[in-house]
Chains A and B, each alone.
Chain A
Amino acid sequence: DIQMTQSPSSVSASVGDRVTITCRASQGISSWLAWYQQKPGKAPKLLIYAASSLQSGVPSRFSGSGSGTDFTLTISSLQPEDFATYYCQQANSFPVTFGGGTKVEIK
């Protein structure tokens, strides 16, 4: 199985900050990577797929990059509604696997 490792596990940031979350796959997955946002008590929401493609309706302050084993999710200017937990997910092969999550908290 492909292991997905996210870092950091949590980050404290202020409104307007630039936030970067990294995700590493245990083996190459080309660009088969997605990012999700989850708020407490809610279902996850797809933000980015194919490593860098923005899902319809997602604000342009979210961006993704990377290929192979190393990927990043960047929020260019953090907004109040962005405080949440973010997960990466490899879509290269079954079993699909998720990273452990990164909680973005208010500083």
Chain B
Amino acid sequence: EVQLVESGGGLVQPGGSLRLSCAASGFTFSAYSMNWVRQAPGRGLEWVSYISSSSSSIYYADSVKGRFTISRDNAKNSLYLQFNSLRDEDTAVYYCARDQGGYSPRNFDYWGQGTLVTVSS
């Protein structure tokens, strides 16, 4: 069974830093690209970042470019998102999501349960 479990969320002050983790199991993690998607309270979905299976390709939404860093450790079956210079508008539930890949890239076929990041003083 495919499982994605996020951790590391919490309350952080504006301008602060935080790192989220996503532990993957039930599939060959190193064969799949991965993504982070967020959802502000009561709002819609916003894609945040993408990393290819080998980390050779990385993309970010303009809203987080230069402040967030996506990375992965295939030996540990783990995905990460490092936040710097956090803003109030970064408050959201952050989901890690597996890229379906193959002939259907950029579709997200499995999602974690999400972890809440609250940016507030």
Residues of chain A at the chain B interface (Cβ within 8 Å): 1, 32, 34, 36, 38, 42-46, 49-50, 53, 55, 87, 89, 91-101
Count of A-B contacts with CB under 8 A?
65
Residues of chain B at the chain A interface (Cβ within 8 Å): 35, 37, 44-47, 50, 59-62, 95, 100, 103-109, 111-114
Q: Which residues of A contact B47 (CB under 8 A)?
A: 89, 95-98
Q: Which residues of B contact A96 (CB under 8 A)?
A: 35, 47, 50, 106
Asked if residues B44 and A98 are in contact (CB atoms below 8 Å), the reply is: yes
19 further interface pairs, Cβ-Cβ under 8 Å (given A49-B104, A94-B106, A98-B46) = A1-B62, A36-B108, A43-B95, A44-B45, A44-B95, A45-B111, A46-B100, A49-B100, A55-B109, A89-B45, A89-B47, A89-B108, A92-B106, A95-B60, A97-B47, A98-B45, A100-B44, A101-B44, A101-B45
Closest partner residue, chain B, to A35 (CB atom): B107
Closest partner residue, chain A, to B109 (CB atom): A46
